[in-house]
Every structure is written in structure tokens, then in C-alpha cells.
Amino acid sequence: MAKSGNSAAVPEAREALNRFKMEAASEVGVNLKQGYNGDLTSRQAGSIGGQMVKKMIESYENGMK
């Protein structure tokens, strides 16, 4: 049976992604807290996601060298 929803198949992966998200948020100056963050603006949430993608691309490119 396939899992549905936003759950990670490996619990350690969820923790790593959370740390990654918190790191990206601090780099763009967004105060992200543990738990509910529904009070963020779309711009703030987008800047966190954009920073995460930027870091993933940099990591991939560095791995290719």
C-alpha cells in the first residue's frame, strides 16, 4: 500500500529536511519557529523555498566536479 500525505519514508530524512529548512530560513532572514508557521507571508515562505532550491543546485553542481 502506498503512503500518502507529506510524511517522509525515513524519519531521519524528515529531521534532516527540517534542519535544512531552518538553515535556509536563517540565511534569508526569516524567523522560522518549530511547529506552526502559518503566520509567514507568501514572500517569506517563497524566499525560504527558493534558498533551499539554490542550495540543492549548488550541492549537486559541486558533486559533479
Q: Residue 27 contacts by C-beta under 8 Å, 6 or more apart in sequence? A: 51
pLDDT of residue 48 exceeding 80, the answer is yes
- Whether the CB-CB separation of 27 and 13 falls below 8 Å is answered with no
What is the phi/psi pair of residue 33, to 5°?
A: -115, 160
Give the pLDDT score at 65.
74
C-alpha 9 chain-centroid distance = 16
pTM, two decimal places: 0.76
Q: Which amino acid is present at 59? A: S
Rounded to an integer, the average pLDDT of 12-25 is 93
